[in-house]
Amino acid sequence: MFASVSWFPNIGNTCFLNATLQALYSIPSFCADVMGQEALWSPKKTSLKLQSYFGELYKARQGDSSFHSKSTLLRSVKSSLAVFNEEYEGDFQQDAHEFLMLFLMGMKMQGETQQGTSYTCPTLNFEFKLQSVRTCSSCGDKVFQEEEQNNLSLDLSSCLTDSLALYFKASELECTCRQCLGPQATVSRGFLTLPRVLVLHMKRFCYDGKQLRRVNDAVCIPPVLSLASLLEEQQGVLSISQSAGELRRQRQIPAGSFCGHYLSDVIEGDGGEWVTLDDSRVTRTDEAAVLKRRQDTAYLLFYVLSGAGEGDPAPL
């Protein structure tokens, strides 16, 4: 069925919310983790509030009119985030990347109440570990450190592959070696584990001394992203294929406001058809058009690990 029912109403500067949620709804493994645990979030008094709203909205999005209206549920998602960030009490536009991070953090925190049960937090879909290695330039002593992440914020370059390589490029650091007291070290990072879904955030905003400015540089978006060269341990060739959403910002109101417009290009349903979801407007598109048209506006990209479907364990 064409995604005619999957639109969301704009309830007041909420394109950031709609576009980001639409991206999440197009990730089958994330939705499966939420919907497969309905017994835990369906009771009215559940502490898994965000998961409950997301699950009810999933049903409303499928066109089941016996559930709450989309507007009510969207408002509930937004107001429940005001607990973490009071800016969500107002009707101001928010940054889609910040919203995604807040939403995942909220879901994870609420999930901590389920310890000791069989609950699996859906946010695990995005989590991965990086390992950084600091090597002393004088004696070669190495210090290893692990970082947990659920997204990467990348500087712009002509291609996404280069932006990613830039993120992992070794850099020089001034620090005192624990062994020889040498003054300099090289720091390099790599993936220790891979996420099921890799979220990439393009740093399209820069502060020019007065206000935030959007940078519209074109970044080519490959349909498949290989991470093999960025893995700390050689685990063979692993690649991820693009799915899910892409968000763009069309304009910005001066004075540093985060006002703008977001929409989402997603793969909808089993047929693998791409659609553009722009609040209540749903239009068909295709992968080639998405990759080409969004080069200078793509803000959040979701890459799904090849072979990771519903019910698969997150790769470690």
For binding to Zn ion (CB under 5 A), which residues are involved?
136, 138-139, 141, 177, 179-180, 182
Residue 120 φ then ψ, to 5°: -115, 120
Report the C-alpha gap between 134 and 196 in whole angstroms.
27
**Minimum Å distance from CB 174 to Zn ion?**
13
What amino acid is encoded at 221 in this protein?
Answer: I
Report the C-alpha gap between 264 and 212 in whole angstroms.
23
In the complex with Zn ion, the residue whose CB is nearer, 138 or 285, is: 138
Would you say 293 and 220 are in contact if contact means Cβ atoms under 8 Å apart? no
In the complex with Zn ion, the residue whose CB is nearer, 179 or 216, is: 179
In the complex with Zn ion, the residue whose CB is nearer, 161 or 184, is: 184
In the complex with Zn ion, the residue whose CB is nearer, 86 or 174, is: 174
**Minimum Å distance from CB 182 to Zn ion?**
4
The SS3 assignment for 89 reads: helix
In the complex with Zn ion, the residue whose CB is nearer, 129 or 134, is: 134
**Minimum Å distance from CB 185 to Zn ion?**
8
What is the rounded radius of gyration, in angstroms, for the C-alpha atoms of the chain?
21
**Minimum Å distance from CB 180 to Zn ion?**
3
Report the C-alpha gap between 166 and 155 in whole angstroms.
8
Report the C-alpha gap between 76 and 50 in whole angstroms.
9
Report the C-alpha gap between 55 and 52 in whole angstroms.
5
In the complex with Zn ion, the residue whose CB is nearer, 83 or 139, is: 139
In the complex with Zn ion, the residue whose CB is nearer, 182 or 269, is: 182
Would you say 274 and 252 are in contact if contact means Cβ atoms under 8 Å apart? no
Would you say 25 and 31 are in contact if contact means Cβ atoms under 8 Å apart? yes
**Minimum Å distance from CB 177 to Zn ion?**
3
**Minimum Å distance from CB 235 to Zn ion?**
30
* Nearest of 15, 22, 198, 201 to residue 98 by alpha carbon: 201
User: In the structure encoding, which two tokens stand for residue 65, read together?
Assistant: 């009119």
**Minimum Å distance from CB 141 to Zn ion?**
4
**Minimum Å distance from CB 179 to Zn ion?**
5
**Minimum Å distance from CB 176 to Zn ion?**
9
Q: How crowded is residue 183: how many other Cβ atoms within 10 Å of its Cβ?
A: 12
Place of tokens 């009810």: 56
* Nearest of 273, 243, 272, 276 to residue 262 by alpha carbon: 276
In the complex with Zn ion, the residue whose CB is nearer, 132 or 138, is: 138
In the complex with Zn ion, the residue whose CB is nearer, 182 or 315, is: 182
Would you say 265 and 245 are in contact if contact means Cβ atoms under 8 Å apart? yes
Would you say 102 and 85 are in contact if contact means Cβ atoms under 8 Å apart? yes
